[in-house]
Amino acid sequence: MIRGILAVAALITACVLAGCGSNGGRATVSAGGSSPASSAVCSIYDSGTNALITVLQGSSGECQALAQQLSSAGSFWTAQPQQPDEAQSMVCVMEDSSGDVAEVIDGGGQYVGQEVCGDFTSNGWTEDTAEESQINQQEQQQAQASASASAAASSAAASASAAASAVTQASSDLSTMDNDATTVSGDASTLQGDASSTYGDLKSEESDAAGGQGSYCTNVSSTVYNDAASTLYNDQVSTLSNDVDSVQSDINTLRGDIKTFEGDLSTLSSYGESAPDGSSAAITSAKNAIASTIASGNQAIADVNADVSQGYSIANGLATGACAGDGPGSPPAPQGPLS
C-alpha cells in the first residue's frame, strides 16, 4: 500500500501542474511496480513499495525535483528500481487544462490507483478516454503477444518432451522385439524335438508289433494298443498341441512387436528424429524369424501327424482274426499348422 496516498497524489498533481522542470511533461504515475517505458526520460520509485512515476517528456531534473517533493511527505523516493510483486495495468489517464498528462498504473484490485485517479479529478484534471483506449489496446496486444509466446513455448516444450519420450520408447520397443525374435527362433527346436520324440515312439511301437499278436492277443490289446492310443496319442494331442499353442502365441507377440516398432518409427519421423541404429535390419530379422519358425514348425507338425497316423495303422493292422476289435481305432484329428 502506498503510504500517504492522498498527499502523494496531491504532490504529483502539483508537480505536473507546475511542470517539474523547464518544459513541463508527461508523467506516468504507477501505484504498483510497472517497468518504465523505453522512451522515458527518467523514473523514480517509492522505496519499499510498488509505486512508480515515469516522466516521458522533460529532463532528468524533473525526477529529482519530484522525488524531493514526494519524499517530504513521508515516503522515500529513489531512482533505484523496486521489484514489483504483481502484474500491472493502466487505471486511468488524466489531463489538465494545459495539456499535461499523467497515467496511473496499479495491480490487483487497483484500489490505490483508483484513489489516485479520484484525487486527480478532485484537483481539476479530466479523464483522457482517447489515450486510455489507446493504452488499453496496447496492453491487450501485449497480453495477446505474451499469451502467444507462452503458448508457443509450452507447445515447443511439450513437443520436445514428446520427442524425447518417443526416442526412449522406440529404443525400448526395439529391445523387446529383438528379444522376442530370439524366442521365436528358439521355438523351432521345440517343435522339432516333439517330432523327434514322436518318431522314436513310433519305432518302439514297430518293435513291439514285431512280436505279433501275443498269447491271447495280449500284445495287440495291451502293449501295441498303448503304444498307439496312449504314447503316440499324447505325443500329438498333449505335447505337440501345447507346444504349438505356445509357439503360435510367441509368433503373434512378435508380430505385434514389429507393428508397434514400425509405429514408433513413424512417430519419430513426425518429430524429425532419426530411427535407432539397426532398426531396418532388426525388423527384417524379426520377420525372418517368424517365417523360418513357421516353415520348420509346420514340417515338424506334419511329421508328428504322419507318425501318429502310422502308429494307429500298425496297431489296427495287428488286430485281425481272433484279435479283431483290439485295435485303437481311428487316430486323433491332425494337429493344425502354425500361421
Cell numbers 513521508 correspond to: 74
How far is CA 231 from each of CA 60, 238, 250, 262, 308, rounded to the nearest angstrom? 108, 10, 27, 45, 9
How far is CA 12 from each of CA 23, 43, 56, 234, 334, rounded to the nearest angstrom? 16, 13, 14, 104, 103
pLDDT of residue 217: 97
Helices (H) and strands (E) in the chain, counts: 9, 7
For residue 310, which of 224, 243, 217 has the smallest C-alpha distance?
A: 224
Ranges of residues in the chain with a pLDDT under 50 are 1-11, 13-26, 32-36, 38
Sign of the Cα torsion 51, 57, 60, 66 reads negative
Q: What is the DSSP string of 215-256?
A: GGGHIIIIIIHHIIIIIIHHIIIIIIHHHHHHHHHHHHHHHH
Give the whole-angstrom CA distance, residue 339 versus residue 301: 12
Give the whole-angstrom CA distance, residue 216 versus residue 235: 28
In this prediction the pTM is 0.63
Give the whole-angstrom CA distance, residue 201 versus residue 184: 27
pLDDT of residue 336: 98
DSSP state of 21: S
Pairing, β 52-55 against β 101-107: unpaired
pLDDT of residue 115: 83
Which residues does residue 217 pair with via DSSP β-bridges, in sequence order? none
Collapsing DSSP to helix, strand or coil, 77 comes out as: strand
